A and B are shown apart, each in its own frame.
Chain A
């Protein structure tokens, strides 16, 4: 770069940046900032909704029947214009709430925690301090039995239900694989995010067709696009995918 007849040259240690070089860098810097901000804005418009919880956790208390499907699920009755809803449960940190739920399955309980929501997926993060408390029974609610939707082959990604429903943003993809596997090993319910919807839902609680909760079976496939066959059941608003691990393979050639 030429200034007033003298070459200007920048080296890291000198204190004063030569004026022509300073102006040049200011213009380039401004362009880079504007272009990057514009690109960021444009790309963010094409990104899938990362869920509710990223904007702040909503603390709620729910009363319903605790069921093992096989992960702990809270089924809340209809009433006051509400339809019956099923909430997946997870704990704080990278843990499930199996130990808290043990012995309470089939009973009425009150659960306080933080609500995460993404599409048809509702997850309640159980508050460590308040936990799951036995509540008085209601003779009004009789939860509907699960409805089988038949056997399907789905293509999609295995995620942990907590991160994907909003605890992290975005909570999926290869970069999130280690985090998802830690969550799954800790007992957080796995969720299959399908590229094609079944009965309007793209999100499924993922179990297998044997012991149901062995997340290690899926560990190698977490965070990448896979196809797998299995039976789908609907429980209130959410869906369970009883997959056959033998049929699981990476999608694509």
Chain B
């Protein structure tokens, strides 16, 4: 049973590792070659590019798909973009509700304190140890 758990854990870690490495390669290619085509206003600007690496690594399949769409000439289709923006706005609204709930739930459920207590002797022998301190 434990062996099976270890194998599953190793498989998950290997998958995440491969996904991360692929994401880094995709992010590098995108930042060097693709971003100028996907977002024309980013041309000539470099300082912000490292900042978006984590997002690119997480979302690299979507990034590559969007890049491919634009290369194919379908990226300028505003209806595609608008649907993204609509979903983006919906995600933000959902997060605006969910994040405060998570925060307050965590605060409500956390073990607040302090409840540090001294060691309490229960039997006769413990009491003699206590009195001999």
Contact = CB atoms under 8 A, between A and B. Distances in A.
A197 interface: yes
A7 B120 CA distance: 68
B41 A13 contact: yes
**How many residues of A sit at the interface, in one of the four size bands?**
20 to 34
A131 B122 CA distance: 41
Contacts of A194: 119
Contact of A149 (B2, B47, B115, B126): B126
Contacts of A30: none
A152 B121 contact: yes
B77 interface: no
Interface in B85-133: 111-113, 115-129, 133
Interface residues of B, number: 27
Nearest to B127: A150
Contacts of B33: none
A227 B117 CA distance: 9
B65 interface: no
A248 to B, nearest CB: 14
B73 interface: no
Interface string A125-165: 00000000000000000000000111111110000000000
Contacts of A195: 116-118
A152 B117 contact: no
A145 to B, nearest CB: 15
A153 B125 contact: no
Nearest to B129: A149
Interface centre among A13, A148, A196, A250 (most CB of B within 10 A): A13
B77 to A, nearest CB: 23
Nearest to A185: B2
B54 to A, nearest CB: 15
Contact of A155 (B46, B115, B123): B115
Nearest to A223: B111
A120 interface: no
A225 interface: yes
Nearest to B42: A13
Contacts of A198: 119, 129
B45 to A, nearest CB: 4
A32 interface: no
A11 to B, nearest CB: 9
Interface in A157-198: 174, 185, 194-198
Contacts of A39: none
Contacts of B128: 150
26 contacts: A12-B45, A13-B48, A15-B46, A149-B125, A149-B126, A149-B129, A150-B126, A150-B128, A151-B122, A151-B126, A152-B120, A152-B122, A153-B120, A153-B122, A185-B2, A195-B117, A195-B118, A196-B118, A199-B129, A199-B133, A225-B115, A225-B116, A227-B117, A251-B111, A251-B113, A252-B111
Given A194-B119, A196-B119, 13 more contacts: A12-B48, A13-B42, A150-B126, A150-B129, A152-B121, A153-B120, A154-B120, A155-B115, A155-B119, A195-B118, A196-B118, A197-B119, A229-B122
Interface of B: 2, 41-42, 44-48, 111-113, 115-129, 133
Interface of A: 12-15, 148-155, 174, 185, 194-199, 224-225, 227, 229, 232, 250-252
Nearest first, the 4 closest Cβ-Cβ pairs linking A and B are A150-B126, A150-B125, A196-B118, A195-B116
